[in-house]
Amino acid sequence: MAKKDILDLVTPWMIKDGPDGDVVLSSRIRLARNLKDQPFPWHASLETREKVRTKIKKAINPEEFDFLSLEDISSLERENMMESHLLSPQIIADPAGRGVAISKDRLSSIMVNEEDHLRIQSIAPGLDLDVAMKKANAIDDQIEKVLDLAFDEKYGYLTAWPTNVGTGIRVSAMVHLPGLALTNNMPRTLNSVNQLGMVVRGIYGEGTEALGNLYQISNQRSLGRSEEEFLKDLATVATHVIGEERKIRNIVIEKNRAFLEDKVHRSLGTLKEARLIGTNEALALLSDVRLGIDLGLISDAIKPTVQALMQIIRPAHLQKYLGNNLDPEMRDYYRATVIREELAKE
Amino acid sequence: MLCDRCNLNPATVHLKTILNGIVEEKHLCQKCAKETGQLQMLNVTNPFSSFFETLLGSMEYQPTLLRSKCGVCNLTFDQFRRTGQLGCPSCYREFNNELQPILRRIQGDVTHRGKIPVRQGGNLSLKRQIEKLRDELKDLVKREEYEKAAKVRDEIKELEEKAGGNQNG
Ligand SMILES: [Zn+2]
Ligand SMILES: [Zn+2]
């Protein structure tokens, strides 16, 4: 098996700690943009989508971005990029005539012909919306210099879904909420987030599952307010959720330290010894260990490894890491092996 | 993308199952996901997109309106109602009357107050500046600061001329 260093295989923000890194994994800004005078991707022929893709490719600086036509890469590679949050489940479901530009630092990407002609996204580790916004904005400015974007004086940036019109912005924070989940407080939290005008999604976007206690909080509206206001709103809600999560963690550790210590060490033990493990179980155990590290119950020397494993154990990453086509029956065995070996390194 | 099962509603639930090495993808609408019991598997759904779907489904439209097409991309209003997506940027103008109430419901507002692109932004930047100065002017008049008010009035005039000039040019 041609194994590589797992830290090189995962998205850079996964293994970096940013502000409020004990709860927030990453901040993401997405801007939806479309070309003037072109049908939106879902309503366009393959020929038109290809034409639009060529036009956009020419407008993107090749020194900053690598451009890929999705049908030119293997489905494994596409899945891998989905697991790395560079592509959405929607775009990999039908790759023909679509593409992606990935920045050299892998912190920004531009999906081409997803639901809109352009979906610019930038990610920063931790709760750092301003940094992500600055990057996304710079990419948008650059593109606007070259391409005629669909913009209306009243409605702003025009998008395929009227739910994205206006700023075309989606501001989100990926959060790890093991404390709230452990104490059955998630329904209450989801409710209060909804009432504050935000939604909670699974980590791969709309309609995807929340595994390993990871959730994505994002704005739902896009019109009627400025980008700065949307950012401020999300930061307020995220700060509220961070506060709740920390409060619960502290209560649990004060009231029942032994219980928590036992739980996180038991999970670490299972990860270090298991011979067969599925994705969901592994993510749940890694979530416990991450919590243990963030609370100082487990040495933080293994934090980068734990963070990387959260991505590496997903099917396409696992296959790429092991460098062969995995017999699915054996996948749980290899997953357990990878986790065991990586944790033994520390 | 339309729902794999009913082919009528937009697919908002995306599922992937791997069974014996075969990846199976399913794209369902909220309704079909619920009916096939898939929604219970998901811990997290988006109340916003289901709200939008329900809203579109609940609106009553005249058959002639449903058959009317966008002059640019040929999308019928019925297609929009079923998919939730517009066909091209011009659809926003073509279906403006019908979109206004929908946007008001889902967005709470119908006016863009965010970023303005440099090249495609038209006179919007100027218009926003003028609006701001008009508010300032009202304020100054109220406070009887006429000298300052006169200055602002001149500024507005200048910007208005600029905006008008841009429109003709
Ligand atoms: Zn359906
Ligand atoms: Zn149209």
Q: Where residue A56 sits, what CATH number does that domain have?
A: 3.30.590.10
pLDDT of residue A15: 79
pLDDT of residue A1: 42
User: Are A223 and B103 an interchain contact pair (Cβ–Cβ within 8 Å)?
Assistant: yes
User: Are B127 and A34 an interchain contact pair (Cβ–Cβ within 8 Å)?
Assistant: no
Question: Same domain for A166 and A290?
Answer: no
E strands within chain A? 24-33, 65-69, 99-103, 108-112, 118-125, 151-152, 156-157, 169-176, 198-201, 214-219
pLDDT of residue A2: 45
Helix (H) or strand (E) segment spanning residue B26:
strand B22-28
Q: Which residue has the higher pLDDT, B122 or A294?
A: A294
Spatial distance between the Cα atoms of B169 and B155, rounded to a whole number of angstroms: 21
Of B49, B73, B103, the CB nearest to A39: B73
Mean pLDDT of chain B: 81
Residue A205 structural domain: 12-250
Least confident of A14-28, B10-24, B33-47, B125-139: B33-47
Question: Same domain for A229 and A150?
Answer: yes
Question: Same domain for A181 and A261?
Answer: no
Question: Same domain for A334 and A222?
Answer: no
pLDDT of residue A195: 82
Q: How far is CA A109 from the centre of its chain?
A: 12
pLDDT of residue A210: 62
Residue ending a domain, among A250, A271, A303, is A250
Q: Is the ipTM of this complex over 0.90?
A: no
B17 touching A (Cβ < 8 Å):
no
Question: Same domain for A279 and A261?
Answer: yes
Residue B45 backbone dihedrals phi, psi, to 5 degrees: -125, 165
Question: Same domain for A95 and A54?
Answer: yes
Of B15, B42, B111, the CB nearest to A224: B111
Question: Same domain for A60 and A165?
Answer: yes
Residue that is written with structure tokens 């959730």 in the block: A215
User: Are A151 and B120 an interchain contact pair (Cβ–Cβ within 8 Å)?
Assistant: yes
Residue A3 lies in a domain: no
Helix axes A227-255, A186-195, angle to 10 degrees: 160
pLDDT of residue B20: 43
Spatial distance between the Cα atoms of A9 and A3, rounded to a whole number of angstroms: 10
At residue B22, does pLDDT exceed 80?
Answer: no
Question: Same domain for A335 and A188?
Answer: no
3-state secondary structure of A71: helix
Contact A115, A90 (CB under 8 A): yes
Residue A1 lies in a domain: no
At residue B169, does pLDDT exceed 50?
Answer: no
CA B127 → CA A121, B15, B86, B169, distances in Å?
A: 30, 46, 28, 17
- Interface probe for B, chosen from A200, A208, A213, A216 (most Cβ of B below 10 Å), is A208
Least confident of A225-229, A307-311, B6-10, B110-114: B6-10
Regions in chain A scoring below 50 on pLDDT: 1-2
- Amino acid (1-letter code) at residue B72: V
Residue A7 lies in a domain: no
Spatial distance between the Cα atoms of A131 and B66, rounded to a whole number of angstroms: 45
Total count of domains within chain A = 2
pLDDT of residue A285: 95
User: Are B73 and A43 an interchain contact pair (Cβ–Cβ within 8 Å)?
Assistant: yes
Question: Same domain for A110 and A31?
Answer: yes
Measured in angstroms, the CA of B147 and the nearest CA of chain A are apart by: 33
Residue that is written with structure tokens 């009035």 in the block: B153
pLDDT of residue A207: 52
Question: Same domain for A269 and A232?
Answer: no
User: Are B85 and A42 an interchain contact pair (Cβ–Cβ within 8 Å)?
Assistant: yes
pLDDT of residue B15: 66
Least confident of A7-11, A65-69, B3-7, B38-42: B38-42
Residue ranges covered by each domain of chain B: 1-40, 47-107, 121-162
Q: Which residue has the higher pLDDT, A315 or B37?
A: A315
Question: Same domain for A122 and A144?
Answer: yes
Question: Same domain for A104 and A166?
Answer: yes
Residue A139 lies in a domain: yes
b/e string for B77-111 if b means 16 or more Cβ within 10 A?
bebbbbbbbbbbbbbbebbeebbeebbeebbeebe
Q: Which residue has the higher pLDDT, A336 or B131?
A: A336
Residue A228 lies in a domain: yes
Of A38, A79, A158, the CB nearest to B92: A158
Query: Which tokens hold the place of B105?
Result: 């419901």
